[in-house]
A and B are shown apart, each in its own frame.
Chain A
Amino acid sequence: MKDKKIFKLLILFCLIFSTSLTYPKISKGNEQTIEKRLNEISNNVRCLVCRNQSIYDSNSDFANDIKKIIMIHLNDNKSDEFIYKFLKSKYGEYILFKPPFQINTLILWILPFILIICGLIFFTFKFLKFRKND
């Protein structure tokens, strides 16, 4: 009888002790992930008050409010995509530094490659002309 009691107490002790050991670890890990995601998203969101600064770099009231709402959504287990979509629905595409890959932003994405190709063609012709003259 006494052994049974001790055994029950031991199980209870193990249960309490195991949860107290694992809980802070999970919570800390979650906190770190959320903070990492907050920083990543904040780096890609424009501060509309400072214009060319991200809300990560800015300490304006606006930046702090947006960080606050991002944090609320992250704690609600919302995806990054949901958060970007939410911000875009309120402030438009201008709030994001990285424009989405779609028809109206296509030129922004392909223009650097076009310029590189044009530059390469130009210098190749120049080089060939130079060699021919030589």
Chain B
Amino acid sequence: MIIFAINLDVKKEDKKIDQLKSPLINKNIPKNPIRLFQKNEIVELKNVYNELYAINFFASWCLPCKIEAPAIKLLSEKIPVFGVAFKDEEKNILDFLKTFGNPYDKIGIDRNGLLGIEWGVYGIPETFIINKKGQIIYKYTGPLEIDELEKNIYDLIKNER
């Protein structure tokens, strides 16, 4: 009984670690400027959006990013999604978008992973939802599932609108 209880607790803890509560929730988004993909333009996200939007850290070399592609496409039908290509090469990003489709409103580049640290990213893919005030209201680590969209994200979007 005791061993079972401990095992159950460890499993619960494992799940908690996978979805670590981010201290950035309800805080303003990091101010770091982001270079746009294939454009000679550096933007600050707070100047790009004044509506509810999502940020998705992805990479062409990341298998879970390929798995979550359908869910990101569905999310992009509800709110704009800003993609951040994490430690990736231009050619590979283009190939990825060609193969899995481009759900992104705009794409930024994080060439060395330091932008990811500012956003508390530890394992891509990671998805954030930002409200109109520019605060992070949701974070999901790992490949986004359609189930998660239906269970939590759609309601969140509805409530924020």
Contacts and interface: CB of A to CB of B under 8 A. Distances in A.
Interface string B112-147: 111011111011000000000000000000000000
Given A48-B123, A49-B123, A69 B20 contact: no
A54 to B, nearest CB: 14
Label chain A's interface by main secondary structure: helix
B27 to A, nearest CB: 9
B24 interface: yes
Contacts of A49: 122-123
Interface string A95-132: 00000000000000000000000000000000000000
Nearest to A94: B20
A65 B122 CA distance: 10
A65 B114 contact: yes
A90 B120 contact: yes
B114 A69 contact: yes
Nearest to A72: B114
B71 to A, nearest CB: 22
A88 B20 CA distance: 12
Interface residues of A, number: 16
B23 A65 contact: no
A65 B117 contact: yes
B22 interface: yes
A91 B116 CA distance: 11
Given A48-B122, A48-B123, A62-B123, A68 B21 contact: no
Interface string A66-86: 101100100000000000000
B30 to A, nearest CB: 9
B17 A51 contact: yes
Contact of A91 (B87, B113, B114, B120): B120
Contact of A92 (B23, B112, B116, B117): B23
Contacts of B20: 48, 91-92, 94
Instruction: Tell which of A51, A61, A72 has the most Cβ of chain B within 10 Å.
Output: A61
A89 B112 CA distance: 20
A91 B123 contact: no
Given A51-B17, A91-B23, A92-B23, A68 B114 contact: yes
Nearest to A49: B123
Contacts of A65: 112-114, 116-117
Contacts of B118: 90
Q: Which 8 A-B pairs have the closest CB atoms?
A: A48-B122, A90-B120, A65-B113, A92-B23, A62-B122, A69-B117, A91-B120, A49-B123
Interface of B: 17, 20-24, 87, 112-114, 116-120, 122-123
7 contacts: A48-B122, A48-B123, A51-B17, A68-B113, A88-B23, A91-B20, A94-B20
